[in-house]
């Protein structure tokens, strides 16, 4: 599963590859555009679409999952094995949002099932909850190649489905796991170390950013800070 650097600001892959030079960037842009145009033509489109269309109203997560289908809305469908939509209670008061599926999740089609997912399960249990009582999902639903950060076009394609998930569930709290999830939800470049420890607001929902479980596996001394964040979530959960 993707954990990312907890100190790296939100960026896309092209921003991080400045060393390749503007010519290489332009070549890659042309290739991506050709692929996108060819894909749209294969769907019968005679012109490039504008902004993403508004999703129809859904009453259940099952209806929303049906709307997502075997999604080919962005190029990630070319390399993924499974869509990782999310799992848990449709009436959850607490939703965990990560960055994107990793290799284990891509293989099984379930969120947070690798080593980081096992740690997340223990964190959930530590506040007297079970995975079945919460809901777990990611910013995007398909694994990026080589676990790179999702690109902005991929987020723009997938975020309407995340918003609809939250509208259907109507949680009291969202826990944003890691730099990328927190920065995306809160539309900020602020570091996770500055964001964590206090509640923020996203779409009318309370958001508590904290470190990603994958980051904790590499930096176990940060577990105390996550426990402090989780105690605040627990306090809000039971009020």
For residues 7 and 33, which has the higher predicted lDDT (pLDDT)? Answer: 33
Residue 11 has pLDDT above 80, yes or no: no
State the pLDDT at residue 9.
44
Residue 6 has pLDDT above 60, yes or no: no
State the pLDDT at residue 239.
82
Model confidence over 117-157: pLDDT tens digits?
Answer: 999 999 999 999 999 999 999 999 999 999 999 999 999 99
Residue 27 has pLDDT above 80, yes or no: no
Model confidence over 47-80: pLDDT tens digits?
Answer: 444 444 566 777 899 999 999 999 999 999 999 9
Model confidence over 221-233: pLDDT tens digits?
Answer: 999 999 999 999 9
State the pLDDT at residue 3.
64
Q: Determine what percent of the chain is predicted with pLDDT higher than 90.
A: 74
Residue 234's contacts (CB-CB under 8 Å, 6 or more residues apart) are 127, 128
Task: Identify the CATH number of the domain defined by range 15-238.
Answer: 3.40.470.10
**Mean per-residue pLDDT over the chain, rounded:** 87
CA distance 27 to 156: 23
Domain range annotation of the chain: 15-238
pTM for the full predicted model: 0.79
Residue 23 has pLDDT above 80, yes or no: no
* Mean pLDDT, residues 31-47 taken together: 57
pLDDT range class, residue 191, cuts 50, 70, 90: very high
- Vertex 64, ends 62 and 66: CA angle to 5°? 70
Q: What is the DSSP string of the chain?
A: -----TTSPS--TTGGGGGGHHHHHHHHHHHHHHHHHHHHHHTT-SS---SPPPPPP-SSHHHHHHHH-S--SSGGGGT-SS----EE-TT-SEEEEES---HHHHHHT-SS-SHHHHHHHHHHHHTT--GGGSEEEESSSSPPGGGPPPPHHHHHHHHHHHHHHHHHH--SEEEEESHHHHHHHHT----HHHHTTS-EEETTEEEEEE--HHHHHH-GGGHHHHHHHHHHHHHHHH-
pLDDT range class, residue 21, cuts 50, 70, 90: low
Residue 216 has pLDDT above 50, yes or no: yes
Residue 229's contacts (CB-CB under 8 Å, 6 or more residues apart) are 175, 196, 197, 208, 209, 210
């Amino acid at each position: 599963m993707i954990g990312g650097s907890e100190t790296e600001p939100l960026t896309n892959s092209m921003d991080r590859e400045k060393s390749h030079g503007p010519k290489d960037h332009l070549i890659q842009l042309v290739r991506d555009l050709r692929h996108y145009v060819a894909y749209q033509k294969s769907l019968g489109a005679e012109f490039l679409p504008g902004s993403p269309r508004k999703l129809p109203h859904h009453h259940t997560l099952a209806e929303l999952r049906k709307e997502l289908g075997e999604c080919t809305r962005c190029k990630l469908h070319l390399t993924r094995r499974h869509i990782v939509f999310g799992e848990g209670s449709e009436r959850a008061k607490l939703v965990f949002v990560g960055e994107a599926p990793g290799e284990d999740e891509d293989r099984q089609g379930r969120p947070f099932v690798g080593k980081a997912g096992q740690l997340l399960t223990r964190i959930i249990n530590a506040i007297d909850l079970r995975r079945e009582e919460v809901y777990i999902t990611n910013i995007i639903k398909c694994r990026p190649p080589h676990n790179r950060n999702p690109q902005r076009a991929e987020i723009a394609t997938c975020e309407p489905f995340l918003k609809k998930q939250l509208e259907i569930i109507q949680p009291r709290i969202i826990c944003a796991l890691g730099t990328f999830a927190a920065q995306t939800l809160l539309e900020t470049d602020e570091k996770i170390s500055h964001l964590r420890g206090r509640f923020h607001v996203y779409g009318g929902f309370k958001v508590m950013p904290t470190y990603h479980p994958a980051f904790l596996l590499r930096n176990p001394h940060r577990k105390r800070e996550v426990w402090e964040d989780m105690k605040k979530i627990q306090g809000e959960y039971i009020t």
